[in-house]
Amino acid sequence: MLIELTDPLDSRINAYRNVRLRDPEDGFIAEGSLVVKRLLQSDLSVQSLLLHKGQEAKYIGMLPESVPVYVVDPKIGAAIAGYDFHRGVLAHGVCPQLLPCEQLQTDRPRLALGLVGISDPENVGSLLRSAAAMGVQDVLIGPSTIYPFVRRVIRVSMASVFHHRFYRFDQPLQQIADLQSDTFRFAATTLAPDAITIGALQSHLAGAPTVLLMGNEAQGLAPEIQKACDVRTTLPMPETTDSLNVSVAGAIFLHELTKPVS
């Protein structure tokens, strides 16, 4: 349903207002042609689109007639969003519910990724993109980790966020124990010198369904969480390098854990 707007203060497009500085209270914002098209091809619901004039034909056939498509002059669009938004398209989507952690026992992936205290949207988006590239669909969202449907996370993930399954990991110690009782194993990433190296990780896990835990950018995983895990693992590095960015380290560990065991 095409609706042309000329008033940047029209209340129907409040979700898009100043989105460079804030995310909407209701749902999420996706931006850019590639990301929005992947959203429209996903199972997630869309509340509306905001388009620059001349972009209508690219999207209108991908939407039910009931979804409003607001069409604006680019200058009006910039006044609404607070910037000249990417490729002339924004979408307002419906956030899915995070799944209860115990559902992982039913889904039983070979490998899941757990994020604890990761607060930078670019790091979370990059980790999700790497997970998708390695075929890892299941992601546990722990305390103080940024919500995966923040606009910047969505954009950096290149829309992989729309195809992951997300689980609430809000009581890590209890939930680790519950999953361990159902044959899951947990691998905690750490800089500790007494941890096993990444090359030995697969043999220690012995093919069991595994959750790879990545911790906060500065502090890593809390000692009590590391202690609760089945194995602690690290990337050997020369003394001239003290650590890697968490998203880079995560990609390396994910690659290691998805390699066929020889």
Q: What is the largest CA-CA distance in the chain?
A: 63
Q: What is the pLDDT of residue 252?
A: 96
Rounded Cα distance, 215 and 247, in Å: 10
Residue boundaries of the structural domains of the chain: 2-93, 99-258
The residues that bridge with 92 in the sheet, in sequence order, are 29, 48
Q: What is the pLDDT of residue 237?
A: 79
3-class DSSP state of 236: coil
Can you state the angle between helices 121-133 and 246-258, rounded to 10 degrees? Answer: 20
- Of 207, 212, 185, nearest in space to 113 by CA: 212
What fold, for 2-93? 60s Ribosomal Protein L30; Chain: A; (3.30.1330)
Q: What is the DSSP letter of 220?
A: B
Q: What is the pLDDT of residue 140?
A: 98
Assess if CATH 3.40.50.2000 describes domain 99-258. no
Q: What is the pLDDT of residue 193?
A: 87
- Of 166, 235, 167, nearest in space to 196 by CA: 235
Q: What is the pLDDT of residue 162?
A: 98
Q: Do domains 2-93 and 99-258 have the same CATH topology?
A: no
- Tens-binned pLDDT, residue by residue, of the chain (262 aa): 899 999 999 999 999 999 989 999 999 999 999 999 999 999 999 999 999 999 999 999 999 999 999 999 999 999 999 998 878 999 999 999 999 999 999 999 999 999 999 999 999 999 999 999 999 999 999 999 999 999 999 999 999 999 999 999 999 999 999 999 999 999 999 999 899 999 999 999 989 999 999 999 999 999 999 999 999 999 987 776 667 899 999 999 999 999 987 6
Q: What is the pLDDT of residue 244?
A: 85
Rounded Cα distance, 224 and 240, in Å: 28
Is 211 in contact with 140 (CB distance < 8 Å)? yes
